[in-house]
Structure 1
């Protein structure tokens, strides 16, 4: 496949649709549709930069070996899903700064330590060029959802590390969160 052009189809603040105009190995034109959080000129298909980070997911662990989780409403499925805290990296922020900010906003907790577990990686490359880094933080403080954005519906809770695999088996957990919990 060879990329010929990228056409922006929507103009939204956080996510846009693009049509990729391609030529396949037989010379036939093909259209492929993708979503991206990036501007047209910053998309991976144009820059070939695979180390840009759009978002971060945090593995918050307490001193008592508990994992802090979220039950969060997701409009795309019009239902709640169990997840680890996560969010977008704001312009000018490092992965660590975004992780600390998102952790506090979604859980009320502060990170005592920071460890990069997975560098920016594509989350669903068949649909988007979005990348997510995964970090682990030992956390402290009182849990609250008081600092969430007005459109976020989040319940914060803890599970014991030793119960993580059973939790995944018995609940609807996001795939990224499930993979992390299954490795605990």
Structure 2
């Protein structure tokens, strides 16, 4: 939903500036001709007002594609792909995983795997707060090899066990009810 809204905003800005484009994809716009300096500056200014950013650097564009793919994969799909993440990312982005991994680490200071883990733990937190699935179901949904593996990663990232995190939520609800 967010990507569709962003796509529409970019499309509107391009039309306002009379910039001819062939195609708009998440994070990419295919233009019929290169932008003039004035068009570039105006487009960048207009996109910033909308909370968007014009990226020119190929590495930055590639990193953002990887990040978007991971966020989409972990947070917005019903089921995390069963294939190896490195194969999935490499296939979707169209580059060798070693190359992607090196650029990602160089630019962000963390590995792709660390980025995936951070987002998986954020997803676990969301699912725990919704209180619709138990920990075994969450581990299965996010392709953890076991509940213990999920719990260890959760504690390493948050400093809390999943059960303590969930108990904190319950305590907050009880305290709010007392108000």
TM-score range, shorter chain: under 0.3
Determine which structure has more spread, i.e. the larger CA radius of gyration: 2
Q: TM-score, normalised by structure 1?
A: 0.25
Larger strand proportion of the pair: 1
Q: TM-score, normalised by structure 2?
A: 0.25
Larger helix proportion of the pair: 2
Which structure exhibits the higher relative contact order, with contacts defined as CA atoms closer than 8 Å and separated by 6 or more residues? 1
